[in-house]
């Protein structure tokens, strides 16, 4: 599981930072990629990255401001031309369906794959045997959401060497043993699969937030997450501006990370006023409160380790 940042700027693209988009690379876990936001130019950023549009399974839109949304029609259209024929599901606030349908109706674009649009308010927006995704409303000028992605715990590895040492040969029973079931083996012995499994692998938790100023719902979404991706549009000297325009400072994001007990904080959505040395000062501001802070750059990735590691 890896976060890959395609765009880390706020409002407008700059030479060094495109507007917002971050991919959650789940190729090892489920052979797909999830995308959070798709600002203008996201498909161009993908061309310079290892992220393949054809592998996109879900796109989550935090809110309907252009710097988080305007790249969606182009990305979806190009996906057809690049071998993407699997269904694509879009999750986002009410209005997302109208935006997508209008863009394709007016442009006459044609897609070679099924598109599913799921608009939500709050609560569980996706759940299967591997992951659960919850959304909660943040505090911004329009409805903006944060997502909490929880990977389910998985059983430990089957101790095949021990089974061999006890005289068992590989066979179809191994699949049931891996699930922790009690199995009668070909020689008549009955064994409990749980006794042959290594330590359970603890699932990881990722929190990805849209634009917001500090609010109560943030803490529950972020609590105990292995990594929190949070906007830091301003340094704290601009706290009045941040409040006025419904954004967050690096200091405020760091305070939240400390209170929530997250494993790491990644700051993104930086104002174009912060270049070069100013970015380092913004990072220092966050690390003074939460030392495990990072500032994302375009084409930078962060591998999310399992807690047991």
Task: Please count the CA atoms within 13 angstroms of the CA of 28 that sit on its side-chain side.
Answer: 7
**CA–CA separation, 7 and 296 (whole Å):** 9
Tens-of-pLDDT digits for all 309 residues of the chain? 999 999 999 999 999 999 999 999 999 999 999 999 999 999 999 999 999 999 999 999 999 999 999 999 999 999 988 777 899 999 999 999 999 999 999 999 889 899 999 999 899 999 999 999 999 999 999 999 999 999 998 878 888 899 889 888 888 888 888 888 898 988 889 989 888 888 878 899 999 999 999 999 999 999 999 999 999 999 999 999 999 999 999 999 999 999 999 999 999 999 999 988 999 999 999 999 999 999 999 999 999 988 654
Strand partners, 2: 25, 303
- b/e map 271-286, b = 16+ CB within 10 Å: beebeeeebeebbebb
**CA–CA separation, 280 and 267 (whole Å):** 12
Give the pLDDT of residue 309.
Answer: 46
276 among known catalytic residues? no
52, 82 in Cβ contact below 8 A?
A: yes
Give the pLDDT of residue 115.
Answer: 95
Element (H, E) at 2: strand 2-7
Residue 65 marked in a binding site: yes
Q: Looking at 37, 67, 143, 226, which residue is catalytic?
A: 67
Residue 44 marked in a binding site: no
Phi, psi dihedral angles at 51 (to 5 degrees):
-80, 125
Residue 269 marked in a binding site: yes
Contacts of 24 (CB under 8 A, 6+ apart): 1, 2, 3, 4, 33, 34, 35, 36, 149, 206, 208
Residue 280 marked in a binding site: no
Residue 67 marked in a binding site: yes
Residue 110 marked in a binding site: no
Give the pLDDT of residue 308.
Answer: 53
Using a 10 angstrom Cβ sphere, with 0-12 exposed, 13-18 middle and 19 or more buried, the burial of residue 89 is middle
Encoded tokens for 287: 């690390």
67, 12 in Cβ contact below 8 A?
A: yes
Give the pLDDT of residue 307.
Answer: 67
Where do you find CATH 3.60.15.10 in the chain? 2-154+201-303
Using a 10 angstrom Cβ sphere, with 0-12 exposed, 13-18 middle and 19 or more buried, the burial of residue 114 is exposed
Q: Report domain 2-154+201-303's class.
A: alpha beta
What 8-state DSSP symbol labels residue 304? Answer: -
Give the pLDDT of residue 173.
Answer: 86
């Amino acid at each position: 599981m890896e976060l890959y940042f395609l765009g880390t700027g706020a409002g407008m693209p700059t030479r060094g930072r495109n507007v917002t988009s971050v991919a959650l690379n789940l190729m090892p876990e489920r052979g797909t990629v999830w995308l959070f936001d798709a600002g203008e130019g996201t498909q161009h950023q993908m061309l310079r990255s290892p992220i393949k549009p054809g592998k996109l399974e879900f796109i989550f839109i935090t809110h309907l401001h252009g710097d988080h949304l305007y790249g969606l029609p182009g990305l979806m259209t190009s996906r057809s031309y690049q071998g993407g024929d699997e269904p694509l599901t879009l999750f986002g606030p009410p209005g997302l369906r109208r935006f997508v349908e209008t863009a394709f109706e007016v442009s006459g674009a044609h897609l070679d794959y099924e598109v599913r649009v799921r608009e939500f308010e709050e609560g569980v927006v996706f759940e299967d045997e591997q992951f659960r995704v919850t959304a909660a409303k943040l505090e911004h000028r329009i409805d903006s959401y944060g997502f909490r992605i929880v990977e389910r715990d998985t059983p430990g590895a089957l101790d095949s060497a021990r089974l061999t040492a006890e005289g068992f040969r590989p066979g179809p029973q191994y699949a049931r043993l891996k699930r922790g079931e009690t199995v009668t083996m070909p020689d008549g012995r009955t064994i409990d699969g749980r006794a042959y499994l290594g330590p359970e692998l603890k699932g990881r938790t990722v929190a990805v937030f849209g634009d917001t100023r500090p609010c109560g719902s943030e803490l529950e979404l972020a609590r105990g997450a292995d990594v929190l991706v949070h906007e830091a549009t301003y340094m704290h000297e601009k706290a009045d501006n941040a409040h006025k325009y419904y954004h967050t400072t690096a200091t405020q994001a760091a305070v939240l990370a400390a209170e929530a007990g997250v494993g790491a904080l990644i700051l993104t959505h930086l104002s174009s006023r912060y270049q070069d040395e100013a970015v380092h000062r913004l990072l220092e501001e966050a690390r003074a409160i939460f030392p495990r802070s990072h500032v994302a750059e375009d084409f930078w990735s962060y591998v999310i380790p399992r807690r047991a590691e």
